[in-house]
A and B are shown apart, each in its own frame.
Chain A
Amino acid sequence: MHWPLPTDYISVIEQPSRCFYDADLQSCEPESIPQTSLGHNFWYAQGNFGLVFKLNHRASQKSWAVKCFTRGISQLRKRYKRLAVHLRRIRRTCPYFVEFEYLEKGIQVDNSWYPIVKMEWVQGQTLDEWVKECLQSTDGP
């Protein structure tokens, strides 16, 4: 399978109503994500296997993180389906995961559909940023 490039995704993300299949996402607006390490805001956050976009749903004041893949992972669908089932089962006792949904028909790039993972947006700091801030305020973890 041939996967789109980051630039392909960026070119379509500005029109969520066209590129997404999911009804929630269609009525969202993309928002840039501050990247402390790079010093300025960017449309996406780079992950190991793809990009993450932030989409705001104005009506419900809710934000989604949408992961689009730029590299293949074997049995992607199976992984995320099993994962969703298991994490839902243990959600009450294991609160460390965000809610997510794997959408096989997720985003349309050049007339073909690619899978996305639609996740609840969590506002937080990554561990290294958080440690840095703690140390700067001389208040250890």
Chain B
Amino acid sequence: MQSWVELVENLERHKVAHGDLQHGNVLVVQDHSLQQFTLKLVDYDGMFVPRLRISEQAGDPVGHEDYNPLHRRFGPTMDRFPALVIYTALRALAFHAHELKPQIESGNLLDERLLFRKSDFVDPDNSELLRFLRRSRDATLRKLAQAIAEDARKDADHVRPLRQLLAEPQVPPQPSQNLREVPTGIFKAILNTTLLPLSGVIWLLRVALKLTRRLSVGALLAGLVLGVLYVFPPIITEITCRPDPPWAGEPVTIRFASWSTWNQPVEIQYRFVGESSWRATAGQVLYLPQVNDKELRLEFRAVRPGAFPSWTHRRRWRIQVPSPFVEIVATEPPSGPIAGEPFIIRVRASSPLPHRRVKAQWRRYDFEPWQEVEGQELRIPSAQPGQLVVQFRAQDEKGYLSNVVERYWDVPLILPTVAIAKVEPQGGPIAGEPFRVLLHADSPLKRPVQFQWRYSGEFAWRDLAGAQWLLEEFPGKPITVEFRARDSLGYTSEAITQSWEPRIIPPTAKLIRTRPEIGPVTGHPLELAFAAHSPLGRAVFIEWRFRD
């Protein structure tokens, strides 16, 4: 395949076109001793060479229809499209040999043809083959298939040369470092030329000879002047670049204005600084589909058949990198995140080139992978207390990145509070009586709250069913209880510790009557009557014992 690219380039450099490039006219000659092959072209009926100026006539060779664009014209560029077709076919057959094998075995392919048919060029959008290649895993094939679809309808002059197509998305060759001044003057132009415009010089001598034979010295001088004018190089008068300066990753259009003797048509050639061979532009416009370098350095010259080429113009354009940028537009809530609450950060990513699609990305830590921000907002469902750090950056469709924007927020912890609203009885607990504590909690974030309690010294907290703590029978000793409130997200208030000492209210007993009234009498029963009273209204029993 590389041999084919070389062949195509070689012919174009020599301004030769075969006119009927197709499978049958390309011979692969194997040299078995050297384990290599060479390519030979046969059938020269339709060839073009520079000195051949003929007008096409009906019935003249027009090239194989399966290899040629819809409108072919006899001329130096007529091989471009067939060359592209053949290269694409070879590459596709090499890359997709497996997928194409059934078609080859059924005789559908490689039988008096390579891959493409005329129908593929007539209606590229409905060509199954081109569709297949556009989805190829080989990026070059995708590009070539696109080029075939586009160029099939173009005039041969506007079909891009194969080498240019292959080189397109790649970085242009690194130009040499030293920037020389633009050489001026016709002598430099002569020195720069590798090939003297022989035809022009011969023409000049011929005119001169004819005139000396027939006419006067004046006419000879006139002839000389005309001759000099004939070989006088064309001049590039203006080079404009759109956009200026170019954007990296974007196409560039360079337009030329030129002058030439008698306004003869001029071809503008260009090359990247550091290259040795010149490339042709399409007319007076150079379209580079993408520029990637820090600098675009090009050399231009104008050529006209029969004249010296113009001197080389060297131009340098600094390339702007269209770095996207990202900014934080708003947050919800605007004051910043609160622990446990959702937090929304709205970002806007944009590019200096309005048509580029830009996406914002985010991550929390340097070691995290970048994630895409969906719908221009980052939604954190629940902020963690402490500090929230988020990094943002923007990336455009060509992969250019913005600077990283980092933001810190302190995430405050807003806790519920708890207090004792009321105790029953109000005077404090009474031993043996029920004791009730009514609690009150406040959650500034209006979260539902659950009360918890434990005896002091315990580890585990117990949940309370409601807002009251009830002890059915207060023990006869002091107790210490801790309370706290826990909100729905698990954040707890500070605990309040409360000790209560029970009041002990004992029953009273009073001797109300003795019988006999005078006191115990020996030999008589003694009857004592007591009245007992409990202030709490409890049932009271009287107990007695002998002393000791």
Contacts and interface: CB of A to CB of B under 8 A. Distances in A.
Nearest to A75: B54
Contact of A86 (B16, B40, B43, B90): B16
B104 interface: yes
B24 interface: yes
A83 B47 contact: yes
Instruction: Give the interface size class of chain B.
Output: 35 or more
Given A49-B61, A86-B49, A96-B11, A132 B26 contact: no
B36 interface: no
A76 to B, nearest CB: 8
Contacts of A87: 16, 49
Contacts of B56: 74
Contact of A127 (B30, B54, B86): B86
Contact of B10 (A86, A94, A132): A94
Interface in B196-242: none
Contact of A125 (B27, B44, B90): B27
Contacts of B97: 135, 138, 140
Interface in A96-141: 96-98, 100, 117, 119, 122-128, 130-132, 135, 138, 140-141
B183 interface: no
B14 A93 contact: yes
B464 interface: no
Interface stretch (B105-113, B275-283, B350-358, B406-414): B105-113
Interface string A78-91: 11101101110010
Given A82-B49, A85-B51, A132-B104, A97 B44 contact: yes
Given A90-B16, A94-B16, A132-B104, A124 B47 contact: no
Nearest to A138: B97
B110 A128 contact: yes
A23 interface: no
A94 B26 CA distance: 15
Best-surrounded residue of A85, A90, A117 (most CB of chain B within 10 A): A90
A109 B478 CA distance: 140
A117 B47 CA distance: 14
A119 B42 contact: yes
A72 interface: yes
B51 A37 contact: no
Contact of A131 (B41, B49, B114): B114
Count chain A CB atoms within 10 A of each CB in B42, B51, B52, B111 and give the residue with the most.
Answer: B42
- Give the one of A83, A90, A93, A128 with max B CB within 10 A: A128
B87 to A, nearest CB: 11
Contacts of B25: 126
Interface in B1-53: 1, 7, 10-11, 14, 16, 20, 23-30, 38-45, 47, 49-52
Given A125-B27, A127-B114, A48 B59 contact: no
A95 B27 contact: no
B128 interface: no
A141 B90 contact: yes
Contacts of B263: none
A119 B1 CA distance: 26
A80 B11 contact: no
A6 interface: no
Given A96-B11, A97-B41, A124 B28 contact: yes
B104 A135 contact: yes
B52 A96 contact: no
Given A96-B41, A127-B86, A128-B112, A135 B52 contact: no
A71 B26 CA distance: 22
Contact of A124 (B27, B44, B45, B60): B27
Contact of B44 (A78, A80, A128): A80
B50 A86 contact: yes
Contacts of B113: 128
A73 B14 contact: no
A47 interface: yes
Contacts of A72: 59
A128 B47 contact: no
A119 B42 CA distance: 9
A125 B26 CA distance: 8
Nearest to A135: B97
A98 to B, nearest CB: 6
B48 to A, nearest CB: 9
B57 interface: yes
B415 interface: no
B513 interface: no
Contacts of A140: 93-94, 97
Contacts of A131: 90, 93, 110, 114
B101 interface: yes
B530 to A, nearest CB: 122
Given A82-B49, A96-B10, A124-B29, 20 more contacts: A37-B111, A65-B42, A67-B43, A73-B61, A75-B54, A78-B54, A79-B52, A86-B49, A86-B52, A94-B10, A96-B7, A98-B41, A122-B29, A122-B40, A126-B24, A127-B26, A131-B93, A132-B104, A135-B104, A141-B94
19 contacts: A37-B111, A37-B112, A74-B54, A74-B60, A79-B52, A79-B54, A80-B44, A82-B51, A82-B52, A83-B44, A94-B16, A98-B42, A100-B44, A124-B27, A124-B40, A126-B28, A128-B113, A135-B110, A141-B1
